[in-house]
């Protein structure tokens, strides 16, 4: 009987992990499709200007709007996830995200309806950001809470795989479409990746609806221990955890936008790559990330977490500058090697980061707590990466200023991640002492 119960638990854990992976893949596909389009086409179609740089900056600013909205989504859907359940909330976020992305593919351009075009684009991007703000935290929590004891970081990594998988899907979609002649790409081709979202969402909903609510949430509901106002409890009792969580996410989030959104724009406009060429560079790096990333969760599970964090993050201090140097050569092969090498450190860390955050917050406010930390980081650091990178490059005329920004992001992450683990381990020791005292 016990064996049957254990088999059922493991089966549900695997199903939750797969559902989280598929759901976050679709959500990240939608989000990355916009970032790729912002680098290639949106500036010209929705923010026309006699100065190409101004159009690109405006497109990157609209890209950031999605990040501004993500903390709102983290609060709103975190509240729902901690009050009514993880599963129901994740179904809503998936439908909302897919609907916004599909509508983006149907939008008229500036030449067709004037200023209404960028207004509608920004409104959809805001809504997309709200949906994304609720998706990530819920997917991580659902996987983590279904996981067998001691394997929370491993199972949380299922949700993390959605980021490179979604990025790969979006990049490949644009890579194929970018092979069209310029006129066709600019008139209808760019719309296709957005419209594909509708089919992906249908698949995601089918899988996600088959998953049970998490055991931790069921227990909270059964014992009537659900938080009345999760955000208030987080801000009252866990502000320090949120602050450390924000810092611990920085390079894990911003590295993708250094590599894709900013580097794509820089390589095409300043170095001399054509869009198809550099999209193939990005595609190769994402494949490397997809393969390498799960080993970060294994590493964090098998060894001391502090040592694992150091081993995973310190190499990025060298790899990120090397990537930009190799892209600057104009060689596709060297750019591929540089970007692939720079993908490895932060990818390993990204896999472990989700489970680490989930373990830091108590179950009553877990969805809200990790969503808030992750999405504030996205708003402040990741969403500003392309526009700040473009500004630094324009102001200084040197890619070294962008490299310096990347290194600062790595150092912030390293310090905050080690602080977060030290606090978790300290609280774990204190809890163990309390248990021993209670038994005595």
In this structure, the chain runs to a length of 440
Reading the block at residue 257, the tokens are 């936008």
| Torsion of Cα atoms, 140 then 142 then 146 then 149, to 10° | 40
**pLDDT for the residue numbered 54:** 65
Please tell me the least confidently modeled range out of 90-94, 194-198, 207-211, 333-337. 207-211
Rounded distance between C-alpha atoms, residue 59 and residue 44, angstroms = 9
User: Cβ atoms within 10 A of the Cβ of 380, count?
Assistant: 17
**pLDDT for the residue numbered 387:** 84
pLDDT tier at 209 (50, 70, 90 boundaries)? confident
**Region 75-88 average pLDDT:** 92
Query: 400 in helix, strand or coil?
Result: helix
| Whether residue 379 has pLDDT greater than 50 | yes
SS3 string, 299-327, reads: HHHHCCHHHHHHHHHCCHHHHHHHHHHHH
**Region 134-144 average pLDDT:** 91
**pLDDT for the residue numbered 30:** 87
SS3 string, 111-158, reads: HHHCCHHHHHHHHHHHHHHHHHHHHHHHHHHHHHHHCCCCCHHHHHHH
Please tell me the least confidently modeled range out of 29-38, 132-141, 152-161. 29-38
Reading the block at residue 214, the tokens are 């998490």
Rounded distance between C-alpha atoms, residue 67 and residue 72, angstroms = 10
**pLDDT for the residue numbered 80:** 93
CA 12 → CA 92, 136, 157, 203, 403, distances in Å? 21, 19, 16, 19, 44
The HSE-up count of residue 39 (CA atoms within 13 Å, CB side) is: 33
**Region 291-296 average pLDDT:** 95
Tell me the domain boundaries of the chain.
8-439
**Region 22-45 average pLDDT:** 84
| Whether residue 141 has pLDDT greater than 90 | yes
CA 328 → CA 255, 320, 346, 404, 425, distances in Å? 18, 13, 21, 16, 43
pLDDT tens-digit map of 343-369: 999 999 999 999 999 999 999 999 999
Q: Which residue's structure tokens are 């810092």?
A: 247
Q: What percent of the chain has pLDDT over 70?
A: 92
| Whether residue 340 has pLDDT greater than 70 | yes
Rounded distance between C-alpha atoms, residue 331 and residue 271, angstroms = 10
**pLDDT for the residue numbered 439:** 43
Contact 369, 242 (CB under 8 A): yes
**Region 407-432 average pLDDT:** 82
Query: 188 in helix, strand or coil?
Result: coil
**pLDDT for the residue numbered 122:** 86
Contact 60, 382 (CB under 8 A): no
Please tell me the least confidently modeled range out of 57-71, 233-247, 253-267, 426-440. 426-440
**Region 79-92 average pLDDT:** 92
The mean predicted confidence, pLDDT, of the chain is 88
Can you state the percent helix, strand and coil of the chain, rounding each to 5?
85, 0, 15
pTM of the model: 0.84
pLDDT tier at 308 (50, 70, 90 boundaries)? very high
> Quick one: DSSP state of residue 329?
T
CA 339 → CA 280, 282, 285, 439, distances in Å? 11, 7, 6, 54
Terminal Cα distance for the chain, rounded: 33
Please tell me the least confidently modeled range out of 77-86, 141-150, 193-202, 256-265. 256-265
**Region 192-204 average pLDDT:** 91
Please indicate whether residue 424 or residue 405 has the higher confidence score (pLDDT).
405
**pLDDT for the residue numbered 352:** 94
Rounded distance between C-alpha atoms, residue 297 and residue 187, angstroms = 43
Query: 366 in helix, strand or coil?
Result: helix
Reading the block at residue 6, the tokens are 């254990």
**Region 212-223 average pLDDT:** 91
**pLDDT for the residue numbered 383:** 80
pLDDT tier at 438 (50, 70, 90 boundaries)? very low
The CATH code that applies to domain 8-439 is 1.20.1250.20
Contact 242, 230 (CB under 8 A): no
pLDDT tier at 53 (50, 70, 90 boundaries)? low
């Amino acid at each position: 009987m016990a064996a049957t119960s254990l088999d059922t638990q493991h089966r549900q854990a695997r199903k939750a992990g797969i559902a989280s992976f598929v759901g976050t893949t679709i959500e990240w596909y939608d989000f990355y499709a916009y970032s790729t389009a912002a680098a290639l086409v949106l500036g010209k179609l929705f923010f026309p200007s006699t100065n190409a740089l101004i159009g690109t900056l405006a497109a990157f600013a609209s890209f950031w709007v999605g990040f501004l909205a993500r903390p709102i989504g983290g609060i709103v859907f975190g509240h729902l996830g901690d009050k009514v359940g993880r599963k129901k909330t994740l179904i809503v976020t998936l439908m909302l995200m897919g609907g916004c992305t599909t509508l983006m593919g149907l939008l008229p351009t500036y030449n067709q309806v004037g200023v209404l075009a960028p207004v509608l684009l920004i409104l959809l991007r805001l809504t997309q950001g709200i949906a994304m703000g609720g998706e990530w935290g819920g997917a991580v929590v659902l996987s983590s809470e279904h996981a067998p004891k001691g394997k929370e970081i491993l199972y949380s990594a299922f949700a993390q795989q959605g980021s490179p998988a979604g990025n790969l899907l979006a990049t490949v979609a644009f890579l194929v479409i970018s092979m069209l002649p310029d006129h066709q790409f600019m008139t209808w081709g760019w719309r296709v990746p957005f419209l594909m979202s509708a089919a992906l969402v249908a698949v995601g909903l089918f899988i996600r609806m088959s998953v049970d609510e998490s055991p931790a949430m069921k227990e909270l509901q059964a014992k009537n221990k659900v938080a009345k106002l999760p955000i208030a409890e987080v801000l009252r009792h866990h502000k320090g955890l949120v602050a450390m969580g924000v810092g611990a996410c920085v390079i894990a989030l911003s590295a993708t936008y250094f590599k894709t959104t900013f580097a794509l724009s820089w390589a095409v406009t300043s170095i001399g790559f054509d869009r198809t060429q550099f999209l193939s560079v990005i595609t190769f790096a994402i494949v490397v990330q997809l393969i390498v990333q799960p080993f970060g969760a294994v590493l964090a599970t098998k060894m001391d977490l502090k040592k694992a964090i150091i081993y995973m993050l310190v190499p990025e201090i060298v790899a990120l500058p090397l990537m930009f140097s190799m892209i600057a050569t104009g060689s596709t092969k060297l750019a591929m090697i540089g970007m692939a090498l720079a993908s490895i450190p932060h990818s390993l860390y990204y896999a472990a980061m989700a489970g680490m955050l989930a373990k830091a917050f108590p179950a009553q406010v877990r969805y809200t707590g990790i969503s808030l930390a992750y999405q504030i980081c996205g708003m402040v650091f990741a969403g500003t990466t392309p526009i700040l990178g473009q500004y630094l490059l324009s102001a200084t005329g040197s890619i070294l200023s962008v490299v310096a920004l990347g290194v600062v992001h790595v150092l912030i992450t390293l310090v905050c991640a080690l602080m977060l683990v030290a606090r978790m381990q300290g609280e774990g020791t204190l809890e163990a002492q309390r248990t021993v005292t209670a038994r005595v």
